[in-house]
Structure 1
Amino acid sequence: MENGEPVLDVKNISKKRGKTPILKDVNFSIGKGEICGFVGRNGAGKTTLMKIITSMLFPNEGEIIICGKNLKTEREEALKNIGAVIETPEMYGYLTGRQNLNYIASMLKDVTKDEIEEAIRYSNLGNKIDEKVKKYSLGMKQRLGLAQALIGDVSLLILDEPTNGLDPLGVVELKNTINTLAKEKGVSVFISSHILSEIESICTKVVFIDNGKIINIQKMDEEPQINNTKNMFINTDLPEKAAEIIKSIPDIELLKVEK
C-alpha cells in the first residue's frame, strides 16, 4: 500500500437478493488510522456490506480495494489485512477463551505469544479469558471476538454492532480500545451501529446508509464540546431521509432541517 492510499476503498458496490436491491452504488473510503462509523436502521444494508468487504458475500457490481489489493483478483493478499467481528462471533464453547485464541493463532503464520497476550489485553476479559466460552455472556463473547479479530498483522478492523450485549462500562472500554488501536497502532476501524450516539464520540467520520444507499458522509465536528452538548451539521441531497434516521436516535435534543 502506497503512502496516502486508502486502507479501504469501496467502489460502486451494488448487491441484489433475487431482484430486490440490497445495496445501491455504494462508494466511500477509509484512511490509515481513521475511525469510520456506519450508521443506519436495522435492515439498511450495514451487515451486507461488511460481509462483502470480508468476502462472505459477493457483490453484483463494483469492487473492494483493501490496502491496495483488489478483493476479487487478490483475495488472499487483501483479506490478510483485515480483522472482523460480523454478527455473533463464532467460537468453540468447550474451549476457554485463551484456547480459542491459540487455535486461531495456530492457523496463521508467525503469530507470537506476545501478540496473543496483547489481543487479550485489548479484550478486557481479564481472568475470564481462562474460563470456557460456553459460560460467556453475549458481551463477553463480543470481547473475545475483538481479541480474535486482532490476532495477526491487522490494518483494518471491521466491527458489526460491537456494543450489542455490552454493559455501559463495556461500551466505554470498547471505545477506549478502538481509540488506542487507531492512535497508537494506526489501525483503521469501520464500526457499524443503528444508534449514532453510541459511536459518534470516537469517529472521525460517519457514513449514513438507508435502504441500501449512502445518504451522507459526514466528517465529525472536532470543535470542543460545551456543557457536554455536541453540534453536528449534515449536508445531504436527501434531507427527509436523513431526518427520519436522526429522529430515531436517542438523546437528540434539537433537529432542524433546512432546504
Structure 2
Amino acid sequence: MNASINKPSSVVLSAEKITKTIGNKNIVDGLSFDIHQGEVVGLLGPNGAGKTTTIRMIVGLIKMSQGDVIVRGHSIRNQFVKAIRHIGGIIENPEFYPYMSGYDNLKQYQRMSEGINESRINEVIKLVGLQDAIHKKVRAYSLGMRQRLGIAQALLHEPSILILDEPTNGLDPAGIREMRDYLKLIAREEGIAVLVSSHLLSEMELMCSRVIVIQEGKLVTERPIGSEPQNDLVSVTFRVNDTQQVLEAVHTLDEVKVIGVQPERNEVGLQVKDEMIPQLIKILGDAGVAIYRIEEMKQSLEEEFLKWTGGNRIA
C-alpha cells in the first residue's frame, strides 16, 4: 500500500520523488509535492527547469524514470486508468472540430466518455461563461473562447484536479483576466484543485494561493503567495512630516530596524514585529511626528522568484 493513500483526504494529488532521466541527465530530479482540494497552485521555474516535463509525467504523456504520482489514492504508474479519471487537463492548445459548434464539440467528447449527462454539459458551459457562444461554430471563436471551451471539456467528467500548461499563452489582457477569474471560480465553486504553469508572474500572483518553484528539476521552495520567511516581522513604510524626527525617535529602539529613508518623499521604511506597531505609532506621535500614511512593504512574486532562483530567467 502506497503511503500517499494515508494522507489527509484534502490531498488530491501527490508527486512522490518523481524523476525523469534522459541519457545521464536528470531533467526532473526527485521532485515531491502535494496538491490540495480547492487550491490554485502555480508551478514556476526558469527556462529548462522541468515544468512541462513534470506536467507530462503527471498526466502520463511520458513515463517516469523513478517515483510515482498518486491521484486520489491511485498510482499513475500502476493504476493509470483509475488515476487519470480524476485528472482534467490542457497540456497544449486545445484542439476542436472548427466546423462544429462548441456545443457539438462537447457532445462529441461526451460520446467518448462514460457518465456525462446533458445537465453536466450545461453546467460546465455556464461555469466557463460560454452560454452566448456555445452554439456558434468554433472557427468563429477567439483564442480566449477556445481556451474556455477547452476548460469546459476538461471539466465534463468531474475531475478532482485540473492541470494547465501555460493557459494564458497568446491571450490579450482581457482574456488573461477572464482566464484567471474562471480558474479561481472553478476552484471555489467546484472544489477542484488547479495546477497551472505560466511565465506570467504577475498573473500567477493574482491567481494562485501557493507556488511551487523548481530549478534544474529540483524543488527550490513551496510558498503561499505573499508569505514572508520571517512572518513575525513586517516591513512598513511611514509617510511623515519629518524623516529625521523618525530616525531620532527610533534609533534607541532595538526592536526597530531602519531599512530605507527617502527624504524627498518624506518616507521611512522600518522593520518591526507586527504586535509592536501600535506602540511604535505612539512613540512617534509622542516625539511630535505627524504620520500621514502607513503601508506594509511586500515583495512581489517577481522579486521573490528572482531571489529563489538566483535571477535566472523564467520561461
Taking the TM superposition and a 5 Å limit, the aligned residue runs for 1:24-39 are 24-39=29-44
Would you say the 8 A contact 2:45–2:314 is kept in 1?
A: no
What per-residue deviation string (whole Å, max 9, x for no partner) do you get for residues 27-76 of structure 1? 11111112111112343221111111111111101100001111111111
Q: Is the CA contact (8 Å cut-off) linking 1:220 and 1:232 kept in structure 2?
A: no
Structure 2 matches for 1:1-259, cutoff 5 A? 4-5=8-9, 6-221=11-226, 230-231=298-299, 242-245=309-312
The unaligned stretches of length 5 or more in structure 2 are 229-293
Name the amino acid aligned to 1:111.
I
After superposition, the Cα gap between the structure-2 partners of 1:122 and 1:2, relative to the gap in structure 1 and judged at 3 Å, is farther
1:155 Cα deviation after fit = 0.7
Deviation of 1:248 (Å):
6.0
TM-score by length of 2: 0.69
Q: 1:220 to 1:137 in 2, by over 3 A?
A: same
Deviations 1:149-182 (A, max 9, x none): 1111211010111111222222222222222222
Aligned mates of 1:184, 1:209 — CA distance in 2: 29
Residue 210 of structure 1, CA deviation:
2.1
Alpha-carbon distance between aligned partners in 1 of 2:307 and 2:181, rounded to the nearest angstrom: 34
| Rounded Cα–Cα distance in structure 1 between residues aligned with 2:13 and 2:148 | 24
Superposed CA offset, 1:119-177 (max 9, x none): 12233334332222233343332121111111112110101111112222222222222
Between structure 1 and structure 2, the one with the greater Rg is 2
Conserved 8 A contact 2:51-2:197? yes
- The one-letter amino acid paired with 1:91 is F
- The amino acid across from 1:4 in the alignment is P
Q: Is the 8 A contact 1:210 1:241 kept in 2?
A: no
Q: Whole-Å Cα distance in 1 between the matches of residues 295 and 113 of structure 2?
A: 48
State the alpha-carbon separation in 1 of the partners of residues 181 and 301 from structure 2.
Answer: 25
Give unpaired runs (5+ residues) of structure 1: 250-259
In structure 1, what is the Cα distance between the partners aligned to 2:112 and 2:296? 46
TM, length-normalised to structure 1: 0.83
SS of equivalent residue, structure 1 residue 153: coil
Higher relative contact order (CA 8 A, sep 6+): 1
| CA-atom RMSD in angstroms | 2.9
SS of the aligned residue for 2:19 comes to: strand
Cα distance change of structure 1 residues 85 and 227 upon mapping to structure 2, 3 Å threshold: farther
Q: What is the CA–CA distance in structure 1 between the aligned matches of 2:196 and 2:155, rounded to whole Å?
A: 14
Q: 1:208-228: per-residue Cα shift (whole Å, max 9, x none)?
A: 1222222111122379xx979
CA drift of 1:230 comes to 4.5
The number of residue pairs the alignment matches comes to 244
Q: Which has the higher strand share?
A: 2
Percentage identity across paired residues of the two chains: 37
- Quote the offset at 1:233 in angstroms: 8.5
Whole-Å separation in 2 of the counterparts to 1:4 and 1:74: 20
Question: Given the superposition, is the C-alpha separation of residues 197 and 240 from structure 1 closer, same or farther in structure 2, using an over 3 Å criterion?
Answer: closer
The farther-off stretch of 148-157 and 112-121 is 112-121
